[in-house]
Amino acid sequence: MKNCIYHRLETQALNSPPKRGNSSLACFHFPQKHRKRIRTTNALERLNREIKRRADLVQIFPNQEACQRLIGALCMEWSDEWVTSRRYLDMTDLKQNH
């Protein structure tokens, strides 16, 4: 037997109009291979783990600017890697669809 309460809630959610727009479904407007990277925060979580790991190595920052330099350098490094070496999202599929 299907859980009646969940089935009823699911049906209500599907039949009711969204109050805040369809932002939660926006990833479905993109090609299939882009959806997982768009709908998840995996890349951001990985960057945050790397910042934490590097900050733990330093342990004590002499001032706030030193901490900001470390985080800025990591963000620039990751940005360069995403732009140059690996393609995070292949934009040729988007150009063909629009």
User: How many residues are there in the chain?
Assistant: 98
Domain that includes residue 50, residue range:
44-87
How many domains is the chain partitioned into structurally? 1
Between 49 and 39, the higher pLDDT residue: 49
d(CA 63, CA 79): 25
Q: In this structure, is residue 51 part of a structural domain? A: yes
Q: In this structure, is residue 83 part of a structural domain? A: yes
Between 15 and 56, the higher pLDDT residue: 56
Q: pLDDT band at 41, cuts 50/70/90?
A: confident
For residue 47, which of 65, 23, 74, 22 has the smallest C-alpha distance?
Answer: 74
pLDDT in tens, 48-95: 999 899 888 888 888 989 999 999 999 998 887 776 755 666 666 666
d(CA 15, CA 78): 42
Percent of the chain with pLDDT over 90: 10
Q: Is 44 left (phi over 0), alpha (psi -120 to 50) or beta?
A: alpha
Q: In this structure, is residue 55 part of a structural domain? A: yes
- Does the pLDDT of residue 16 top 60, yes or no? yes
- b/e per residue 58-67 (b: at least 16 CB within 10 A): eeeeeeeeee
User: What's residue 94's pLDDT?
Assistant: 63
**Full-prediction pTM beyond 0.75?**
no
